Amino acid sequence: LLIQETPWLRDAQSETEQKKRIALLFNLNKMKNEQATALNKLKQNQKGSGAWPWFNGGPDSRFVTQHIIAGMGHLKHLSVTSNKEEMQKVIKNALRYLDNEFVKEYIYMKRHATNINDDHLSQTQIHYLYMRSFFKDIKTSKQVDEITAYYKGQAQKYWKNKGLYAKGMLALIMHRNDDAKTSEKILRALEENSITSEELGMYWKSNTNSWHWYQAPIETQALLIEAFAEIHPQDVE
């Protein structure tokens, strides 16, 4: 009875339960079925425009749509997607909508900007470029290419003005678009401003909570890990 009441036994039972849950999580058949179910739900909720709303029956949301397609981009990048043909249809429909929204924001900005050479690199446009960098195999229009070139020039000039999350995205965007010079500059600046400790590893003091989507600490840390792992894989243990 005394042994059963000890914390060591409870810890052992907890560890066994954790192992069971991890084994269930990585059950490949289960993952495949759940991915198919999730994709089917996304297909059903995708609107004719290619966008998703926040909630069924709501208006198109560029924010939600970009995040969903960026998530699919991660799956594609990691080569863990099943039912690729169905997913490709969903992605192409969404990219059509997102490309149009990317152009719309640029046109609106250009119409109202005092000086087009000022910093007009918004968080939404950065996130679009990051999302789009996963799908270089899916063609864009000439107009999208021209606007993308403008924002790449903006990134080269104004990346220092951006926060951690945006810098991580910009490093990956420029790396994936063969601008190693800019991506290396961003990564070097991120490294110089980081803190490394034996207990916490590499982290950033400025990575704190905020209500902005681009200032979520865990997501920011994960993105920065992605940037270092992809651009400098030799330095990642």
Which tens digit of pLDDT belongs to each residue from 8-57? 556 656 777 777 767 766 777 777 888 888 999 999 999 999 999 999 88
Please give the single-letter amino acid code of residue 2: L
> Cα 104 from chain centroid?
22
- State residue 184's pLDDT score: 96
Judge whether 202 and 210 are in contact, CB under 8 Å. no
- State residue 19's pLDDT score: 77
- State residue 237's pLDDT score: 59
> d(Cα 73, Cα 200) in Å, to the nearest integer?
29
> d(Cα 137, Cα 85) in Å, to the nearest integer?
14
- State residue 179's pLDDT score: 97
- State residue 3's pLDDT score: 52
- State residue 7's pLDDT score: 60
Residues of the chain with pLDDT under 70: 1-13, 21, 24-25, 236-237
